[in-house]
């Protein structure tokens, strides 16, 4: 039996045994292979009707009454509680709203203020922020601005360098759970423990892990975390992000962006600011209701889905893709940047391509295999276990080999 026939048969068997295969019907998909859910998740089938109801009935008919009658006012914390189990958090610790960038700013400045508050007379000594040197650029930009505004020094280090870089000067540490380029999964439990041992405050960016693997925010004592909802949570383009504030820190969380929505008495219209209790103090202004309620409908696809099963399938999919690439693609044409070890792998595979990577990805997309390209030479493939199957994986690797043969 040829490699092609063997892998195709193996994919068929794996799909037949897949306990999550039925979830694919909860999404709007075409005949192609969509491997870009690490950038933008596919459309959940329940979303269009929900958005139509929000526009036509809730806004069109009920109008302002919908703030109460349709639950608009409580949407940020209600939807936060739906996300909470997906990141290992109890209810009452996540608020949804604003962009990831805005929430990174709130979390990082808030972390610095918590560190200063806890340091007492030694607060002036904690004058440094550590940031993941390999982070998505915006996190770095925000961290630099936060450091400048708070009078702190910003020190970029790789996640592996964090334990040695921590000191009595460290106020806060901003890290990515999964590297957006390579798919490398960083050790959240041990790094969080190291940050706490140094007396600093941890902030985690979960954009590339939430909805793909267990996070364990409460279990591992994470202080603050942020994440987007348009990747593995399938909330739609530009859907609102979220902010997690650990319950034990909520009374000490001093947001740098206080707004009327986070006021203890929002309709009191008082000049003096008094923060609301709990995670609500992470709110700022009027919630973006249309995209927020689209997200709420999108999260229905998670009903009855255990994150552990999603993680198991994610690892099986990425393993199988790497096996197929190894079988189909001639040696030397691509190099995997994604770790082999499961404990170091997120839910994507990044391949360094010896050909012109941008041209290769363009040709793949023309043939229905949708991934993305990161300059200069990386092909990224994201595996969303809720709707990606093993036959999809085999087909993607096979077409990749065909395209590489054309551009040799």
What does the pLDDT look like over 346-377, one tens digit per residue? 999 999 998 899 999 999 999 999 999 999 99
Question: Do the Cβ atoms of 222 and 192 come closer than 8 Å?
Answer: yes
pLDDT tens column, 280-293: 999 999 999 999 99
The pLDDT score that the predictor gives to residue 1 is 57
- Give the single-character DSSP code of 268: G
What is the C-alpha separation between 48 and 333, in angstroms, rounded? 42
298: pLDDT strictly greater than 80: yes
Q: Is there a contact between 258 and 276 (Cβ–Cβ < 8 Å)?
A: no
Catalytic residue flag (residue 7)? no
Q: Is 24 tagged catalytic? A: no
Answer yes or no: are the C-beta atoms of 152 and 112 closer than 8 Å.
yes
Active-site hit among 113, 345, 380, 395:
380
Each domain of the chain, given as residue ranges in start order, spans 3-31+305-406, 52-302
pTM for the full predicted model: 0.97
- Residue 372 φ then ψ, to 5°: -150, 170
Mean pLDDT, the chain, whole residue set: 97
| Identified catalytic residue from 205, 288, 372, 377 | 205
Complete DSSP assignment for 38-51: TTSPPEETTHHHHH
CA count, 13 A, side-chain hemisphere, 397:
28
Establish whether 231 is a catalytic residue: yes
pLDDT of 16 > 80? The answer is yes
Q: Is 136 a catalytic residue?
A: yes
Q: Choose the catalytic residue: 113, 231, 333, 345.
A: 231
Fold assignment, 52-302: 3.40.640
Sign for the CA dihedral angle at 77, 83, 85, 87 comes to negative
pLDDT in tens, 58-85: 999 999 999 999 999 999 999 999 999 9
Residue 120, pLDDT > 70, answer no
Q: How far apart are CA 394 and CA 390, in angstroms?
A: 6
Which member of 27, 180, 230, 387 is catalytic?
230
End-to-end C-alpha distance for the chain, whole angstroms:
27
Topology annotation, domain 3-31+305-406: 3.90.1150
Closest CA to 351 of 313, 324, 384: 324
List, in order, residues 6 or more apart from 252 with CB less than 8 Å away: 113, 114, 117, 118
Of 136, 320, 321, 390, the catalytic one is 136
Q: How confident is the model at residue 122 (pLDDT cuts 50, 70, 90)?
A: low
Catalytic, 81? Answer no
Instruction: Identify the bridge partners of residue 94 per DSSP, sorted by sequence position.
Output: 244
At 306 the three-state DSSP class reads coil
In sequence order, what are the residues at sequence separation of 6 or more whose Cβ sits closer than 8 angstroms to the Cβ of residue 285?
259, 260, 261
What is the average per-residue pLDDT within 389-399?
Answer: 98
């Amino acid at each position: 039996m040829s490699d092609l026939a063997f892998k195709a048969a193996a994919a068929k068997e794996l799909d037949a045994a897949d306990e999550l295969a039925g979830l694919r019907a909860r999404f709007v998909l075409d005949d192609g292979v969509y491997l870009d859910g690490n950038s933008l998740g596919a459309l959940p089938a329940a979303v269009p009707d929900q958005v139509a109801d929000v526009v036509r009935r809730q806004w069109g008919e009920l109008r302002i009454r919908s703030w109460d009658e349709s639950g608009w006012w409580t949407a940020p914390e209600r939807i936060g509680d739906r996300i909470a189990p997906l990141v290992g958090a109890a209810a009452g610790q996540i608020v949804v709203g604003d962009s990831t960038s805005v929430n990174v700013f709130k979390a990082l400045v808030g972390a610095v203020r918590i560190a200063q508050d806890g340091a007492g007379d030694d607060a002036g000594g904690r004058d440094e922020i550590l940031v993941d040197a390999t982070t998505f650029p915006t996190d770095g930009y925000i961290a630099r601005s936060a450091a400048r505004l708070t009078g702190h020094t910003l020190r970029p280090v790789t996640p592996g360098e964090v334990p040695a870089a921590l000191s009595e000067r460290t106020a806060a540490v901003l890290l990515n759970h999964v590297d957006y380029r390579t798919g490398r999964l960083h050790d959240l439990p041990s790094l969080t423990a190291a940050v706490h041992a140094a007396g600093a405050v941890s902030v985690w960016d979960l954009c590339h892990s939430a909805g793909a693997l267990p996070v364990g925010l409460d279990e591992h004592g994470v202080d603050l975390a942020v994440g987007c909802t348009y990747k593995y949570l399938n909330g739609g383009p530009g859907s609102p992000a979220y902010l997690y504030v650990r319950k034990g820190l909520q009374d000490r969380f001093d947001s740098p962006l206080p707004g009327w929505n986070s006021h203890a008495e929002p309709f009191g219209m008082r000049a003096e600011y008094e923060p609301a209790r709990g995670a609500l103090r992470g709110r700022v202004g009027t919630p973006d209701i249309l995209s927020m309620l689209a997200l709420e409908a999108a999260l229905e696809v998670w009903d009855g889905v255990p994150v552990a099963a999603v993680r198991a399938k994610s690892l099986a999919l990425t393993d199988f893709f790497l096996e197929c690439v190894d079988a189909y693609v001639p040696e030397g044409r691509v190099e995997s940047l994604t770790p082999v070890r499961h404990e170091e792998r997120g839910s994507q595979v990044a391949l360094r391509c010896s050909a012109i990577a941008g041209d290769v990805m363009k040709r793949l997309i023309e043939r229905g295999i949708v991934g993305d390209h990161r300059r200069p030479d990386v092909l990224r493939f994201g595996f969303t276990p809720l709707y990606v199957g093993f036959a999809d994986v085999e087909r993607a690797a096979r077409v990749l080999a065909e395209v590489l043969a054309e551009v040799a």
